[in-house]
Chains A and B, each alone.
Chain A
Amino acid sequence: MEMPTPDPGILAKKGRVVARLSDVLPKDAVISDISETRAYECDALTAYKCPPLCAVLPASTEEVAAVLKICHEEGVPVVPRGSGTSLAGGALPTADSVILGVARLNEVLETDCDNRFIRVQTGRTNLSVTGAVESDGFFYAPDPSSQLACAIAGNIAMNSGGAHCLKYGVTTNNLLGVTMVQMDGTVVEIGGAHMDAGGYDWLGLICGSEGQLGVVTEATLRILPKPEGARPVLMGFSSNEVAGACVSDIIKAGVLPVAIEFMDRPIIEICENFAKAGYPECEALLIVEVEGSPEEIDAQLGVIMQIARNHDPVELREAADSDEAGKIWLGRKSAFGAVGQVADYMCLDGTIPVSALPHVLNRIEEMSQEFGLKVGNVFHAGDGNMHPLIMFDANKPGDLETCEAFGAEILKLCVEVGGCLTGEHGVGIEKRDLMDVQFAAADLEAQMRVKDVFDPAWLLNPAKVFPLKASEHRRSAAESAAA
């Protein structure tokens, strides 16, 4: 992965930058010792590592503003960081950048059940947001599998999704307001507790902008009343095509499950060995979950099971109680961990139109033969967001490169059938150089013009999202303007 050469001028003035940052932050909030900055050298895309110039851990919006103002004056790039669980290298530092971690910004500022929102500092973890409103009967809907660790900051930056977003939407559909600090230290308030923010849809623009437009320090999030209950069914099928057709029929029938999860044979086997969830031996598994009162659940599952029966399932199992429900989900929820036990893996995230599912799965299988690497598929089938897991051996020379080449081919296929490179993990550095597969030059140019508006010096989260070539003249123009 090509990264811009670190600016020697910045490396040379490390001492001064650290001193200035130490003036505005408590002592323990500035980390500059090389043995300690290593803790920030990568996110969950661990194949790429680079310790930053230094890391700072501000504890208030004012401190964030002070940090950014200094970095802006010094012309030092800043990489915002939540919990570092990005799978796209979104929080990967450059050697000449300051990591701005929001982990200390983790307070709940306000909960309001009458108006159904919660206001939090963005370093707070996703699951603990639900934790703060659970006893009032509410929850925060977007539920990435990483929800125990990932922060709202990263969720907003990546517009993260989760298993239940078929019904409840992703982060952008559940975000009512933010406090954001611009690169020059200006604090902006956008939206709030009212349902639609006025003026342009700044929230929609900020959400998913991968930390390149500003540092988000506070967020107002929509909370929802917990459903009366939920129940999954497990369905096994003799081929991916049949499972795909079943998904499409369920959607057409007018039932809207909260989740439709898909697993193919390699994943079923690995998960079963790992979690002993009692999955059947078959080509494809679906987990379909619906919500409501017990009677409502019975009625919806009645419709869904009938559709499944029309597709000759090899297994059809409705959870009788919460233990059985837990068992059905157990394998799916441990999928990434289970694969991690048997191999190193790369997790892709392209989205495809649901109708292209069988074709894409077949092509992936063919490519798997060509590249000589095993691949398993586990994903959110209701919305076409695939997660092919390519398995490789990091210790075998060349294997990572083969894996990356294979991954790139899969993502190109996703775009070719009408989909996109990333459904929820973001572009980061990982998909940066594939952006021109999906976008024409003018499309990327339009996005970069937005970046120009918010961060004219291109200091925030450098070398992410846009192919280096596409952003080259902007970055060098900004650099010479600074010099």
Chain B
Amino acid sequence: MLSPATEEDLAGILAERSEPLDVQGGGTRRVGASERERLSTAALTGITLYEPGALTLVARAGTPLAEIEGALAAEGQMLAFEPMDHRPLLGSEGEPTIGGVVAGNVSGPRRVQAGGCRDSLIGVRFVDGTGTIVKNGGRVMKNVTGYDLAKLMAGANGTLGVLTEVSFKVLPKPEAVASVLLEGLSVADAVRAMSKALASPFEVSGAAHAPVGVDGAPVTMIRVEGFGDSVAYRAEKLRNLLSEFGPVAVETREGRDGGVGTAAGWRWARDALALAEAEGDVWRVSVKPTDAPKAVDALDADRILLDWGGGLIWAAVPPGTDARARLKGIPGHATLVRADAESFKRLGAFEPESVPLAILAKKLRQQFDPKGILNPGLMG
């Protein structure tokens, strides 16, 4: 495994290289398995700038996510987009890195309110497939100077360049959290309830539904965050708003270390733990929220979890199932997240893009990775 300790070393490697590489951060969610040599950014570590008063943090790509979250927590701040930890779901080991999070645009439940990883990302440095070091964006949160290549790199999964440094706009950590809970809803009712909550002025920061909750029964969770009184007020308003869907409970215990409570509950949703125990392949499906019931029917999955008010569906299906075929006709896209190598090869991790976009994607890769050495084939 290649593990350069500086951006210059990385640039040197890529300038010389002609054989394909598997690019990774901490290696906690390798998509598919390959025999290629691996290139890891795990040795490019360190927070290079953190200014709490300006809500900005800059770190090298290999910095462990845990280190970043720790530094932010010490100042009462957080990454707004709540990245998941893939290890339980994938049964993988290693240490998630911030660069890997950005490369995959990994975004958790708070996406409905604060946006995804790409929305918090304000700058990148990367090395393209020719060994050229490129900077885009910076450390200020409003910046429209030139094209936004930072967003392009978020979710490019290392196919256009290897990230070496990333900058974020961060947010204050809320003082209090409450989960408004509904039990026993069908998927259709749950989506209706979540839409209603998300269309209210009560600043919902999470809306998830599991047909099989922790205790086996369907549970719908709506989250509000902020100052203590405000959270209590908004949770109460939501309780009234949602009363047509049955009895509503409000959970305010935190339960940070494994106990029952809001932190544990939202970590459970964030990491798709409802599916960790389930057998088979795992798909991540993005649809219009009100299409979720239809999509869930079409998927006919063994285990389901809805996040983003229904806009994100996690589904566990029998090994080798082509979920995209089942979803035909429903706008959106499906990503294969957990499967054996053969299935990844046959189905591809990512939904094929439309013809004109696939042409643009190919040309883009030719520009940024003309030798075809950065995770070739991963994104088309």
Interface residues, chain A, with chain B CB atoms under 8 Å away: 112-116, 137-138, 158-159, 161, 165, 169-170, 172-173, 182, 186-190, 192-205, 207-209, 225-228, 248-249, 251-256, 292-293, 295-296, 299-300, 351-355, 380, 383-385, 418-427, 431, 435, 438-440, 442-447, 449-454, 465
Asked whether B38 is an interface residue with its Cβ less than 8 Å from the other chain, the reply is no
Residues of B within 8 A of A187 (CB): 356
- Min Cβ gap A254→B in Å is 4
Contact A188 B356 (CB under 8 A): yes
How far is B135's CA from A79's CA once the two chains are assembled, in angstroms? Answer: 28
Given the contacts A196-B105, A447-B149, A158 and B144 also touching, CB distance less than 8 Å: yes
Most buried by B among A115, A158, A384: A115
Least CB separation from B54: chain A residue: A354
Given the contacts A201-B155, A205-B148, A354 and B289 also touching, CB distance less than 8 Å: no
Interface residues, chain B, with chain A CB atoms under 8 Å away: 51-56, 75-76, 105, 107, 111-112, 115-116, 118-119, 128, 132-136, 138-152, 154-156, 160, 171-175, 195, 198-201, 203, 226-227, 229-230, 233, 286-290, 308, 311-312, 331-333, 335, 350-351, 353-354, 356-357, 360-361, 363-364, 367-368, 379-380
Supply 16 further A-B pairs (C-beta < 8 A) apart from A201-B154, A254-B175, A449-B367: A187-B356, A195-B311, A196-B116, A199-B379, A201-B156, A209-B147, A225-B201, A226-B201, A252-B53, A256-B172, A295-B229, A351-B143, A354-B53, A384-B140, A422-B145, A424-B142
Least CB separation from B286: chain A residue: A194
Contact A198 B119 (CB under 8 A): no
* Cβ-Cβ contact count across A and B, 8 Å cutoff: 250
Given the contacts A172-B151, A204-B151, A190 and B133 also touching, CB distance less than 8 Å: no
Given the contacts A116-B199, A251-B53, A254-B173, A159 and B148 also touching, CB distance less than 8 Å: yes
Most buried by B among A165, A353, A439: A353
Contact A225 B200 (CB under 8 A): yes
Contact B142 A194 (CB under 8 A): no
From A138, A195, A292, A431, B312 is in contact (CB under 8 Å) with A195
Contact A194 B331 (CB under 8 A): yes
Contact B379 A200 (CB under 8 A): yes
Least CB separation from B173: chain A residue: A254
Least CB separation from A419: chain B residue: B140
Contact A447 B229 (CB under 8 A): no
How far is B116's CA from A398's CA once the two chains are assembled, in angstroms? Answer: 48
Given the contacts A113-B199, A452-B367, A193 and B350 also touching, CB distance less than 8 Å: no
Cross-chain pairs A/B with CB under 8 angstroms, 15 sampled: A115-B290, A116-B198, A138-B199, A161-B142, A199-B333, A200-B364, A225-B201, A299-B230, A351-B140, A419-B138, A420-B143, A421-B145, A439-B135, A443-B146, A446-B134
- Min Cβ gap B335→A in Å is 8
Contact A450 B367 (CB under 8 A): yes
Given the contacts A115-B288, A426-B144, A353 and B367 also touching, CB distance less than 8 Å: no
Residues of A within 8 A of B227 (CB): 296, 299-300
Most buried by B among A161, A205, A295: A205
Contact A295 B360 (CB under 8 A): no
How far is B75's CA from A225's CA once the two chains are assembled, in angstroms? Answer: 31
Residues of B within 8 A of A228 (CB): 201
- Min Cβ gap B133→A in Å is 7
From B133, B135, B144, B290, A423 is in contact (CB under 8 Å) with B144
Least CB separation from A434: chain B residue: B145
Contact B357 A190 (CB under 8 A): yes
Contact B331 A192 (CB under 8 A): yes
Contact A353 B56 (CB under 8 A): yes
From B142, B229, B308, A384 is in contact (CB under 8 Å) with B142
Residues of A within 8 A of B361 (CB): 199-200
How far is B351's CA from A138's CA once the two chains are assembled, in angstroms? Answer: 32
- Min Cβ gap A114→B in Å is 5
Contact B148 A193 (CB under 8 A): no
Least CB separation from A161: chain B residue: B142
How far is B379's CA from A419's CA once the two chains are assembled, in angstroms? Answer: 33
